[in-house]
Amino acid sequence: MLVVHTSLECYPVAKTGGLGDVVGSLPKFLNRKNVNAWVVIPKYDNDWANSRSYDVVHEGATYLGSQKFHYRMLREKVDELGFPLYMVDIPGRTDRPGIYVDPHSGYPYWDEFERYVSFQLAVLDWFKSFPQKPDVIHCHDHHTALIPFLINSCYIYSDLITVPTVLTIHNGEYHGSYDIGKAALLPKIKPEKFGFLEWNNRLNSLASGIRNCWKLTTVSTGYLRELQTDSSGLETLMQHEAPKSVGIINGIDDQVWDPATDPLIAHNFTAKTLEKGKKLNKEVLCKEFGLNPKLPVFSYIGRLAKEKGADLLPDLITAFLESGNEANFIVLGTGDPYLHHLFNHLKGRFVGYFNTSLQYNEKLAHQIYAGSDFLLMPSRVEPCGLNQMYALKYGTIPIVRRTGGLNDTVIDVGEPDGYGVCFNQFSLEDAWHAVSRAHSMFKIKDHMKIFRDRAVALDFSWDKSADKYIELYQSLNN
Ligand code: GLC
């Protein structure tokens, strides 16, 4: 069975968040289970992509509106990632360093729609050349969500009409919504199908994907339910498509995320050497950030975005430290410039208690998981969340708001077999209360040991979830 994943991100080639992790790991596990899973992404102008060798497997040309463009399909020569990786090279469109945002200006690329569409059109044009078509095309998020619509609706893709499509929503906040006039850039659409492109008088890529895909998945069951009641205008659509929808929780790549072998942490450890390993890694981390290793370390890793609740952190940290509590806080990530400013300010204000590294840094992230006591995830929305799983694997207790995948994966320490700290409302009070519970917990070493032992014993590997995807693919090919 050939399953082709189309995405804008794939770790380690191009990643801004969890989407990259999932597309960089699920196909590897599918291949281990004898599914021929490929990944196709744009050929970016970045260090990873520029330092590999490729075979040119196909060259073609197709139209964006009335403009003809040429593309090349490159295949990375050695299958270094554990699956065949293809990249679409469209000169003038894909060959840029950023995925969504121009790193020089900090703003999204001016032609984002044209860029995403060219990528999708090139992929479909390439599929047309296959003597045997893929068994499934698996699209991820709105950037590739036009594919199911294009196949169903454009005359030129009628050869592909029997190819099943799956759309996975990793982040339903972004719809890929544009002026409906942009439809002129697509190949000729069958008139009766035009309506499937439109949602509230706009061209809505995600909505079109939801309506046209054969199966719809979200990255947790909790998130699927949430989207059915709250998805910025797509609720009725999500309810209507419920029969073809399923939530499948993500797994983590335990080759990359294993404290026993992780080359990115200072001291490797196993379940047996957990306490010592945590202590040594905490010392390294505290030294790096100028913090006191005797105090609990609360960390935040990720995009500094509203969805993730990062805007709650400055007030939370200030309120907690100002009321006389002794604790360390670390923030690693980039995002909202205003939050950068606030965190830089806090850094000067709480020297020795708060420190931050306002960048994307994979290596440092691993060391923070290894050396922290708690990981803060006050997300407003969390479709799945991988960071809580990485944290647990490294014996770090997650403090999470009960939403989406966080609610599905973290059990509060107050419940039987619990191993995390959960809170309900997105509010300073609730988050403060959670941090304060964790802070008291930290003082009872035996309790911390019990929760850590439980955490590292959990299994969040891809094994079960990859099986669920395989079942889904098979159901489409019967
Ligand atoms: C997005 C979501 C995150 C999820 C990830 C992978 O980044 O925000 O919750 O874990 O996609 O599916």
Name residues whose C-beta falls within 8 Å of residue 363's C-beta, 6 or more positions apart in sequence.
Answer: 264
What confidence score (pLDDT) does residue 439 get?
98
Name which of 56, 420, 22, 476 is nearest 248 in CA terms: 22
145 and 291 share a domain?
Answer: no
* Sheet order of strands, 165-169 included: 54-64, 67-76, 85-89, 36-42, 2-6, 136-140, 165-169, 215-218, 245-247
What confidence score (pLDDT) does residue 248 get?
98
* Interval 227-237 mean pLDDT: 97
- pLDDT at position 22 over 90: yes
Is there a domain that residue 359 lies in?
Answer: yes
Q: How confident is the model at residue 212 (pLDDT cuts 50, 70, 90)?
A: very high
Is there a domain that residue 60 lies in?
Answer: yes
Count the domains in the chain.
2
Which atom of ligand 1 lies nearest, measured to the CA of 404? 9
Which atom of ligand 1 lies nearest, measured to the CA of 383? 9
What confidence score (pLDDT) does residue 478 get?
79
CATH of the domain at 341: 3.40.50.2000
Does ligand 1 lie within 6 Å of residue 24's CB atom?
no
289 and 245 share a domain?
Answer: no
Name which of 170, 175, 173 is nearest 22 in CA terms: 170
Which atom of ligand 1 lies nearest, measured to the CA of 307? 8
Report which DSSP code applies to 59: E
- pLDDT at position 300 over 90: yes
Residue 347: C-alpha distances to residues 93, 306, 314, 323, 350 (Å) = 40, 21, 10, 17, 6
The token pair that represents 264 in the structure block: 């990115």
Which atom of ligand 1 lies nearest, measured to the CA of 223? 9
478 compared with 131, residue with greater pLDDT: 131
Chain segment 311-338, per-residue pLDDT in tens: 999 999 999 999 999 999 999 999 999 9
357 and 407 share a domain?
Answer: yes
The token pair that represents 265 in the structure block: 């942490």
Provide the residue count of the chain: 478
286 and 226 share a domain?
Answer: no
Chain segment 134-172, per-residue pLDDT in tens: 999 999 999 999 999 999 999 999 999 999 999 999 999
DSSP-derived pairing of the beta strands 165-169 and 177-179: unpaired
Is there a domain that residue 266 lies in?
Answer: no
Report which DSSP code applies to 384: S
Which atom of ligand 1 lies nearest, measured to the CA of 405? 9
Is there a domain that residue 51 lies in?
Answer: yes
Is there a domain that residue 126 lies in?
Answer: yes
Q: Which of 7, 10, 19 to mutate to test the pocket of ligand 1 (most atoms within 8 A of CB)?
A: 19
* Interval 242-257 mean pLDDT: 96
Name which of 430, 429, 372, 373 is nearest 401 in CA terms: 430
The token pair that represents 330 in the structure block: 């670390």
Q: What's the pTM? A: 0.94
Q: How confident is the model at residue 413 (pLDDT cuts 50, 70, 90)?
A: very high
| Residue of minimum CA distance from atom 10 in ligand 1 | 385
240 and 316 share a domain?
Answer: no
232 and 284 share a domain?
Answer: no
- Rounded to the nearest angstrom, the distance between the alpha carbon of 115 and the centre of ligand 1 is 22
* Interval 373-391 mean pLDDT: 98
Q: How confident is the model at residue 297 (pLDDT cuts 50, 70, 90)?
A: very high
Q: What percent of the chain has pLDDT over 70?
A: 100
408 and 471 share a domain?
Answer: no
200 and 282 share a domain?
Answer: no
- pLDDT at position 376 over 90: yes
Beta bridge partners of 166: 138, 215
What confidence score (pLDDT) does residue 144 get?
98
Is there a domain that residue 455 lies in?
Answer: yes
| Residue of minimum CA distance from atom 5 in ligand 1 | 18
Is there a domain that residue 386 lies in?
Answer: yes
Residue 21 to residue 302: CA distance in whole angstroms: 13
- pLDDT at position 2 over 90: yes
* Interval 287-301 mean pLDDT: 98
Average pLDDT, the chain: 97
- Rounded to the nearest angstrom, the distance between the alpha carbon of 20 and the centre of ligand 1 is 9
What confidence score (pLDDT) does residue 37 get?
98
Side-chain half-sphere exposure of 352, counting CA atoms within 13 A: 3
* Interval 19-41 mean pLDDT: 97
Q: What φ, ψ does residue 76 adopt, rounded to 5°?
A: -60, 135
What confidence score (pLDDT) does residue 269 get?
98
Q: Which of 218, 377, 384, 465 to mutate to test the pocket of ligand 1 (most atoms within 8 A of CB)?
A: 384
Q: Which of 173, 386, 403 to mutate to test the pocket of ligand 1 (most atoms within 8 A of CB)?
A: 386
Q: What SS3 state is found at 305?
A: coil
Q: Which of 138, 168, 170 to mutate to test the pocket of ligand 1 (most atoms within 8 A of CB)?
A: 170
287 and 213 share a domain?
Answer: no
226 and 294 share a domain?
Answer: no
Residue 122 sits at the vertex; the CA angle it makes with 118 and 125, to the nearest 5 degrees, is 140
What confidence score (pLDDT) does residue 237 get?
98
- Rounded to the nearest angstrom, the distance between the alpha carbon of 396 and the centre of ligand 1 is 20
231 and 342 share a domain?
Answer: no
What confidence score (pLDDT) does residue 106 get?
80
440 and 468 share a domain?
Answer: no
H/E element, 77:
none
Does ligand 1 lie within 6 Å of residue 406's CB atom?
no
Q: Give the domain extent around 330.
A: 274-459
Is there a domain that residue 64 lies in?
Answer: yes
What confidence score (pLDDT) does residue 88 get?
98
